[in-house]
Structure 1
Amino acid sequence: LPGFSRFFYKCSEEERTHALKFIKYQTLRGGRVIFQNIDKPAHDEWGSGLEAMETALALEKSVNQSLLDLHAIASSHQDANLTDFLEHEFLEEQIESIKRLSDYVTNLNRVGAGIGEYLFDRHTLGSDS
């Protein structure tokens, strides 16, 4: 399903850009960036496009919660620069991503597997690229 492939590739590019923003910001603030190993996901194969979208939605919600937790810590330390950075660079975009993925999950549930998923791939995700 080429639409799903393009969609998730585009998402991965966006997440790499976010990582670079954090690296740049931390360096700008005088911090050091220490990289750690990233474990292979527990689930890396999906039986359907719906399952892949549901997994992506859960991951976006998890990232959003982590950003909210970081924002709360920054607020408690009265770090206006970090709270502003998070609000303008990440939090608004996270809500948009969660909304888009939620809509995709809803639509995939409506159209069903097989030809419905194929049409979703072609018409919805095909137009996103």
Structure 2
Amino acid sequence: MKTVVVSAVFFCCLALATATQYSCKAQAVQFPAFKSMENECIALMKHQVQKELNAALTYLAMAAHFSEDQVNRPGFAKMFFESANEEREHAIKFIEYLLMRGELETDIKDLISDPYPVRGLTWDSGLAALKNALALEVNVTKSINEIIKKCENPDVGENDYHLVDYLTGEFLDEQYKGQRELAGQISTLGKMTKSLGDLGEYMFDKKLLDGELPVLG
């Protein structure tokens, strides 16, 4: 161990002496360009990050609303807190993909510069919140499909098959399943509140809290 330490000290001293004696400047590393995404596809992907963050903030607002003492629907709050986390993770995945393709090397100021405002949103009932959530998911799915259509057949350049395959496999399946689950929950809760009123919403909330109903994907 002593030998290793002495050797390390020796080389450090040698490096310092050499740096003092000679003036040297490291050359920038040159490597072949590997970026291949079309500018419009990049812009659409960056915009999708904003969409996902908007969804996350909206779900966070929903969760906070149903956590209020005067509302007190812990099942809905639990579901929407989990949904907010999932949408945030989606935004991270889009950022990671852009980084992997080399499209966020230096300038990221426009990536998450101004999330959409969600202030003032209120929900009169759990059913209203579920309908809002479904509309939100449909909008996100539509946006992802628009990226796929544009980047599968861009006006200039080659088709971005990797991006299209990534979006289709990583996101669309989850989006469509989540929409179907929400539609089913809206139908179930609508029937329960129609026949039982507020008691129906209470029972539905209890099922959400106990994990008897699927959460958003």
Category of TM-score, reference length = shorter chain: over 0.9
Identify the residue that residue 184 of structure 2 maps to in structure 1: 103
Gaps of 5+ in 1: none
Q: Does 1:37 align with 2:114?
A: yes
2:150 counterpart residue number: 73
1:12 aligned to 2:84? yes
Count how many residue pairs are aligned between Structure 1 and Structure 2: 129
What residue number does 1:87 align with?
Answer: 168
One-letter amino acid matched to 1:8: F
CA distance in 1, matches of 2:152, 2:74: 43
Distance in 2, matches of 1:20 and 1:99, equals: 24
Matches within 5 A, 1:38-53: 38-41=115-118, 44-53=121-130
Q: Which is helix-richer, 1 or 2?
A: 1
TM-score (norm 1): 0.93
1:123 aligns with 2:207: yes
Residue deviations 1:62-95 (CA, integer Å, cap 9, x gap): 0000000001011113110100110111001000
8 Å Cα contact 2:134/2:182 also seen in 1:
yes
Do the aligned partners of residues 90 and 106 (structure 1) sit closer, same or farther apart at CA in structure 2, a change above 3 Å counting? same
8 Å Cα contact 2:79-2:208 kept in structure 1: no
Superposed CA RMSD in Å reads 1.5
Looking at structure 2, the residues matched to 9 and 114 of structure 1 have their Cα atoms a distance apart, in angstroms, of: 23
The one-letter code sitting in structure 2 at the alignment partner of 1:45 is T
The alpha-carbon distance between structure 1 residues 94 and 117, as it changes in their structure 2 partners (threshold 3 A), is same
Distance in 2 of aligned mates of 1:42 and 1:58: 18
Cα offset, 1:123, TM superposition: 1.6
Percent of matched pairs sharing the same residue:
34
TM-score scaled by length of structure 2: 0.57
Letter in 2 for 1:26: L
CA positional deviation for 1:126: 2.8
Tell which structure's C-alpha radius of gyration is larger: 2
